[in-house]
């Protein structure tokens, strides 16, 4: 995890453009090297990391949670294909750079309608003086919200630091090279590696996670974590919205293959909606 100094990169002077361009390129290169060094360390214990997460999962049943989608997806409100667009979602990787980072889809749900709206139409960062609903209403986009019920075999609740302790126990001694630390100082970035489960809870709840994939073309900490959870066969990650603090679910339908788990729409659907349920027989239609 890195933290960037908030120095303005735009002075408004044309003469400064080459300098700012060079500074951005140096930071982008640092982020790639930083990601690569940690990826190598993770690869050496990857199976152990997957087990550490999976062993902390539990069955999870939910009723009348909310799924918000853009209007164009109205006839397929349970499709997770939209999560594959660049940069992806909080806990899945989209088309950032498919050659280096394979994509995988996630279906995002929220416990409350206001949170579903805020997550779809809101923004990163605090809501300020706006309530979640008010922030969503400032957007003119057409949306569809459906009520869904489901039952999952393996859900990891990352709101509880205890569920992350075995995982953090495996990564807490990770370190980056002195050479990379020197580069971090050169580009005015500080490096803060996860040492405690509480640190990881904070990192996974970051409200500006999109900065890494959108600014530097590498997955965010949350997306890397989601990749490990997905590869472990976990069916869902339970977390709190950074916008409203209400519960949300990131669900991996691909992992329903050998499971009785399901997600289905509660209410009557328009005739155009071909399927209203994701399960082991239908999940391929949604990803």
Asked if residue 56 lies in contact with residue 166, where contact means CB atoms within 8 angstroms, the answer is yes
Domain ranges of the chain: 46-175+194-286
Asked if residue 254 lies in contact with residue 105, where contact means CB atoms within 8 angstroms, the answer is yes
Asked if residue 256 lies in contact with residue 133, where contact means CB atoms within 8 angstroms, the answer is no
Asked if residue 266 lies in contact with residue 142, where contact means CB atoms within 8 angstroms, the answer is no
Percentage of residues in the chain with pLDDT exceeding 70?
87
Q: Are strands 247-251 and 107-110 parallel, antiparallel or unpaired?
A: antiparallel
Is a pLDDT exceeding 60 seen at residue 269?
A: yes
Q: CB neighbours of 192 closer than 8 A, spacing ≥ 6?
A: 1, 2, 3, 199
pLDDT of residue 245: 93
Tell me: cis bond preceding 87? Omega within 30 of 0 counts: yes
Residue whose C-alpha is closest to residue 233's, from 250, 255, 260: 255
Question: Each residue of 112-147: pLDDT tens digit?
Answer: 999 999 898 865 545 555 555 565 555 667 888 999
Higher-scoring residue by pLDDT: 5, 216: 216
Q: How far apart are CA 249 and CA 265, in angstroms?
A: 15
Mean pLDDT of the chain: 89
pLDDT of residue 133: 56
Residues across the chain: 287
3-7, 84-88, 252-256: which range is least confident on average? 3-7
Query: What's the pTM value of the predicted model, to 2 decimals?
Result: 0.88
Question: Each residue of 155-214: pLDDT tens digit?
Answer: 999 999 999 999 999 999 999 999 999 998 988 888 889 999 999 999 999 988 998 999
Tokens of 52: 């550490």
Is a pLDDT exceeding 80 seen at residue 58?
A: yes
Asked if residue 150 lies in contact with residue 260, where contact means CB atoms within 8 angstroms, the answer is no
Number of H helices and E strands in the chain, helices first, is: 9, 11
Q: How far apart are CA 85 and CA 101, in angstroms?
A: 13
Q: Which residue bears the tokens 């977390």?
A: 239
Question: Each residue of 26-55: pLDDT tens digit?
Answer: 888 999 999 999 999 999 999 999 999 999
Question: Each residue of 83-108: pLDDT tens digit?
Answer: 999 999 999 999 999 999 999 999 99
Is a pLDDT exceeding 70 seen at residue 257?
A: yes
Higher-scoring residue by pLDDT: 134, 222: 222
């Amino acid at each position: 995890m890195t933290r960037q100094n908030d120095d303005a990169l735009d002075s408004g002077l044309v003469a400064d453009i080459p300098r700012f361009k060079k500074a951005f390129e140096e930071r982008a290169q640092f982020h790639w090297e930083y990601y690569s060094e940690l990826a190598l360390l993770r690869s050496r214990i990857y199976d152990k990391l997957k087990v550490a997460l999976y062993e902390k999962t539990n069955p999870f049943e939910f009723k009348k949670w909310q799924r918000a989608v853009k209007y164009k997806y109205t006839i397929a409100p349970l499709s997770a294909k939209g999560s594959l667009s660049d940069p992806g979602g909080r806990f899945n990787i989209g088309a950032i750079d498919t050659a280096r980072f394979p994509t995988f889809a996630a279906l995002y749900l929220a416990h409350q309608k206001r949170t579903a709206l805020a997550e779809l139409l809101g923004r990163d960062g605090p809501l300020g003086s706006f309530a979640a609903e008010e922030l969503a209403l400032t957007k003119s986009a057409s949306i569809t919200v459906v009520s869904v019920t489901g039952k999952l075999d393996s859900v990891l609740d990352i709101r509880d630091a205890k569920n992350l302790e075995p995982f953090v126990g495996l990564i807490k001694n990770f370190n980056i090279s002195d050479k990379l630390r020197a580069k971090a100082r050169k580009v005015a970035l500080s490096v803060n590696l996860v040492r405690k489960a509480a640190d990881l809870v904070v990192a996974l709840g970051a409200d500006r996670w999109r900065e890494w994939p959108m600014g530097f073309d590498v997955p965010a900490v949350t997306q890397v974590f989601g990749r490990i959870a997905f590869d472990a066969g976990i069916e869902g990650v339970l977390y709190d919205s950074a916008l409203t603090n209400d519960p949300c679910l990131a669900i991996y339908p691909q992992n329903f293959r050998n499971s009785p788990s399901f997600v289905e729409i509660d209410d009557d659907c328009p005739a155009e909606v071909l399927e209203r349920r994701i399960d082991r027989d239908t999940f391929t239609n949604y990803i």
